[in-house]
Chain A
């Protein structure tokens, strides 16, 4: 199953289970979404539970907050994470704080899905990774799956969650795993071990990381597309890296991270988003606090450069396996 099918499957299960789950966004109704994640849902559940909206991200999230406060469980789609900014006020000032400011009288069980990251020649308006803009906001949970099974399990957990969840879907992983070797033919999830998706009510609890590769030499912290890039870099360099897929950035699975770095004594953090004030900075702070006396080398970060995401220079921007591999070698030599 592809990640697209896994997400569609999760939405189908959630809508089938609970009439309160509603799905809407730009092009998500009749057409089933520009990436097809909501295909067939309008036909199955009707136009009042799955519908097209005007092109207004503010409108999508704002109405979803009203519905969530009423008692529905909206799971809305922002067509690209790059289009999220008009909705940012609603997300930050409203969804994130509704429970707090009303002392629990009004709540916001809302999921905002959005495709994230680059690797599709989408340039500055179809490639961004804005996760740190959400993890910085008290009251939001932020999720980034890296496999179809996790996409399904985490999305079902997000919909069941009583608080607003930002669900970032790495669009380069929609149809198959991507390890950053962009000149290699695309592999489909259907031909990949990680393409297996459990049937039915498969739940992956928010706040639990997964160890994708066990290793002794160095811990790599990654999420989304970068998990596959990190695995490729470990393979290419032959360095015995332990690759941790964070899956949920907030709440963060600190015990899994700390146990790994205490074991390896080295830590490389990888994300596609820009470096400065990125989520890697938060991870580095956690690791130095809890693993200071275990560290045998400074923590390294491999990220997108601090520039907008370019079109022609996509692969010079994207932190691919060569750059991650060099960081692994550098930290082993330190």
Chain B
């Protein structure tokens, strides 16, 4: 083909860079309540449309509308709001603590609170999450003690992981929260294995896998989809699409695929997209997918469309790669304000009660912080013993390691 034009490399670019004015008006966002709710035993090939839409429950007026509404009681909704407020207040204090040098590193959830907080409410005791570093709402909503979370962040003497792990890499079997690896995507496939184990054991437990938009590029994600598809594993395959993987916009990982959810189609896995900033929609879709898994109908992919309003971590400054105004321009709003509006619209809440709740939540977080800091922070107070560094490498310490521990003076 000597006449064919010369080739060139296609490198996707985000629509806006620092200095540009973001404008999401062309982004198609379905009106709340307009997306159908299939039966949980509907065939995957009959619900492909759901991978290209966005399931939403809360409308602009704060009303819950459509077939996905009505999965939560009034008390549960108020609890949900409090969970999200608590997570946000906790994040703010820990972020500040990192800036004050009380720990080395922190990762916040700003704008993504609804996803892990609401998902947790769709699970049963015994179910297991394989989270990334941005799902602490699973712990907050699950009643895990905040002081213990802070002790982990501070790597102090009461850190359940004995100071071995980076801050926010929590672990709690009792609370259905698998130890966080830190290497991306590695645990997505392990969640499938956990779910297969439940099926092999004729148990009733299910697993939930978590991954970010960027990490779906890792092979582990694709392996997880193959195995989940082949063995119809009782697992919910969550993809949190917060638009940014550190500095890399979601188009780099998504490539030519219309959506991340649509990745499931090649594997015959039902895939739903949901408004990740809509607490009610997240809960309804999570409940649907969890029930599907529990009834042995197989895996479901859920893509949560959201926005990482903060930096990737305390080591990151998003102003270097995206417009500062992009977060405000994001069309799906703030999950806390949206649920608050809903509760007020239903007469279950008021501005006054919200202010009061904010103060109560902050008091609780501050009290927990005082308690944790009285034990110690990364550089002060009671720290894990260096002797402990040699434990848990193996069930029984081999002779060579014992010798090294002695050499270290312990």
Per-residue interface assignment for chain A, residues 306 to 317, with 1 indicating a CB less than 8 Å from any chain B CB and 0 otherwise: 111011110011
Judged by a CB distance under 8 angstroms, whether A48 is at the interface is: yes
Flag whether A54 is at the interface (Cβ < 8 A).
yes
A121-B104 CB under 8 A given contacts A52-B247, A83-B183 = yes
Residue of B nearest to A85 (CB): B183
B164 adjacent to A52 (CB under 8 Å): no
What total of chain B residues lie within 8 Å of the partner, measured CB to CB? 52
Residues of B near A58 (CB, < 8 A) are 218-219
Q: Considering residues B218, B245, B405, which has the most beta carbons from chain A within 10 angstroms of its beta carbon? A: B218
Q: Contact mask B249-275 → A, CB, 8 Å, 1/0? A: 000110100000000000000000000
Stretch at the interface among B42-50, B82-90, B331-339, B382-390: B382-390
B391-410 to A contact mask, C-beta < 8 Å, 1/0: 00100000011001100100
A125 within 8 A of B: yes
Decide yes or no whether B182 CB sits under 8 A from chain A. Answer: yes
Q: Does B378 contact A (CB under 8 A)?
A: yes
List of A residues within 8 angstroms of B156 by Cβ: 312
Cα distance, A126 to B184, chains bound together (Å): 12
Whether B218 and A305, one on each chain, are in contact in the complex, defined by CB atoms closer than 8 angstroms, is no
Chain A interface: which of B9-17, B136-144, B286-294, B360-368?
A: B9-17
Main secondary structure of the interface of B (DSSP, over half): loop
CA distance A125 to B404 in the complex (A): 22
| Cα distance A317–B387 in the bound complex, in angstroms | 11
Residue A332 at the chain B interface, CB threshold 8 Å? no
Q: Which residues of A contact B255 (CB under 8 A)?
A: 54
Q: Given A47-B13, A305-B404, A312-B384, does the pair A55, B166 have CB atoms closer than 8 Å?
A: no
Binary interface encoding of chain B residues 150-175 relative to chain A, with 1 for a CB under 8 A from any of its CBs, else 0: 00000110010011111101000000
Interface string of B88-117 (1 = CB under 8 A from A): 000000000000000011000000000000
Q: Indicate the size class of the contact surface on chain A.
A: 35 or more
Contact with B along A287-310 (1 / 0, CB 8 A): 000000000000000000111101
The reply to whether A316 and B320 form a contact with Cβ atoms under 8 Å apart is no
- Per CB-CB distance, the 7 closest pairs between chain A and chain B, nearest first, are A312-B163, A54-B217, A31-B247, A125-B182, A121-B104, A316-B386, A312-B155
- Residues of chain B having any CB pair with chain A under 8 Å: 8-9, 11, 13, 17, 104-105, 155-156, 159, 162-167, 169, 181-185, 214-215, 217-220, 245-248, 252-253, 255, 315-316, 320-321, 378, 383-384, 386, 388-390, 393, 400-401, 404-405, 408
| 6 extra interface residue pairs, beta carbon distance < 8 Å, beyond A56-B217, A307-B389 | A31-B248, A31-B320, A54-B255, A275-B404, A306-B393, A312-B164
